[in-house]
Structure 1
Amino acid sequence: MRVEAANASDAEAISALIVELSEPFFLSPSRGGAERFLASISVEAVRGYLSSANFSYYVARSESRLAGFVALRDNSHLFHLFVATAFQGNRLASQLWATAKTDAVQAGNPGEFTVNSSLNAVPVYERFGFVREGEVQRMHGISFQPMRLRSGQNGA
């Protein structure tokens, strides 16, 4: 599957994929207290990220359907990495991450990245070489595990 730079026309599909896969983030089934997170994944917010110079988005499509995407903020923070359920288990997350990481390193990142991982995605990031940094965070209605990848760690 080919990975390419995202564009503004991808905003709706990107937002929809995050919403579809975000259930494990919420501290409450009602999503109470998560209004800030929900606003940050709206179509309007994603359009803003896509047009911002400090975000880099890459998408993978199967025919015309969004199979997954990755986003970096400030060339060092893995902001989003989502793969549609139908495409999970086929190393697409690895392919997306490798593309984003390679481009970031070519743009001057020394190989050091952070991510706030959903709890169910921690094993994926550990396979990429990230290590847990501190305790699980619970705020704004969601939970996440801060993680870091340092230069010289696997980072597949």
Structure 2
Amino acid sequence: MHIRAFQFSDLENISKLVSEVSKCDILPHFCEQGQTEFINRVIPDLEATLNQSIFNSFIAIDEDRIVGFAAIRERNYITHLFVAKGEQGSGIGKVLLDKLLSYAKGKQVSLRSSLNARSFYEKQGFTETEPEGQFNGIRFVPMSKTIVQA
């Protein structure tokens, strides 16, 4: 497996990956309004992560197949971290997260974890900063991690 920068030519495959993972792991935790809101926001938002002046975005590739996608905004807010269903638990998420954290700037990195990913982030040293929240039916857990600058 290797990690490389996300490119426009990857957009269609990343959209499929995010849609498949979301359908299985994220959308079942939302009411109908949240499902609609998520679908209308997340997939169109993927293209925004190509803006390199704001985002650092990466994909994980294994045997010429995209198996993961991750993005960090302004070097301090993780906006996306998705791993293909069949690859979850194999360490790809941790590799992508470590890549994002290597770009982190400042004292903290924050994110809004999906309910299903909360334990993953806790294992990586993130802590809940507020109780579970929701926006237009999208449920999330605000989390952050203190960054030790080398």
1:2-151 to structure 2, matched below 5 A, reads 2-23=2-23, 24-25=26-27, 26-28=29-31, 31-42=32-43, 44-104=44-104, 109-151=105-147
DSSP 3-state at the match of 1:100: helix
Q: CA RMSD in A?
A: 1.7
For structure 2, list consecutive stretches of 5 or more residues without a partner in the other structure. none
Question: CA separation of 1:134/1:87 partners in 2, compared to 1, >3 Å: closer, same or farther?
Answer: same
Question: CA separation of 1:111/1:70 partners in 2, compared to 1, >3 Å: closer, same or farther?
Answer: farther
Q: TM-score, normalised by structure 1?
A: 0.84
Percent identity among equivalent residues? 30
DSSP 3-state at the match of 1:98: helix
DSSP 3-state at the match of 1:90: coil
Query: Contact 1:35/1:140 (CA < 8 Å) preserved in 2?
Result: no
Report how many aligned residue pairs link the two structures. Answer: 145
Runs ≥4 residues deviating over 3 A: 33-36
Structure 2 Cα separation of the partners of residues 151 and 62 of structure 1: 29
Q: Which moved more, 1:134-143 or 1:19-28?
A: 19-28
Kindly state the Cα deviation for residue 46 of structure 1 after the two structures are TM-superposed. 1.7
Question: CA separation of 1:135/1:7 partners in 2, compared to 1, >3 Å: closer, same or farther?
Answer: same
Query: Contact 2:37/2:138 (CA < 8 Å) preserved in 1?
Result: no
Instruction: Output one character per residue of 1:77-100: Cα deviation in whole Å (capped at 9) or x when no partner.
Output: 011111001111111111111111
Structure 1 Cα separation of the partners of residues 48 and 147 of structure 2: 30
Amino acid of the structure 2 residue aligned with 1:9: S
Structure 1 Cα separation of the partners of residues 96 and 34 of structure 2: 31
Structure 2 Cα separation of the partners of residues 35 and 79 of structure 1: 19
Kindly state the Cα deviation for residue 103 of structure 1 after the two structures are TM-superposed. 2.5
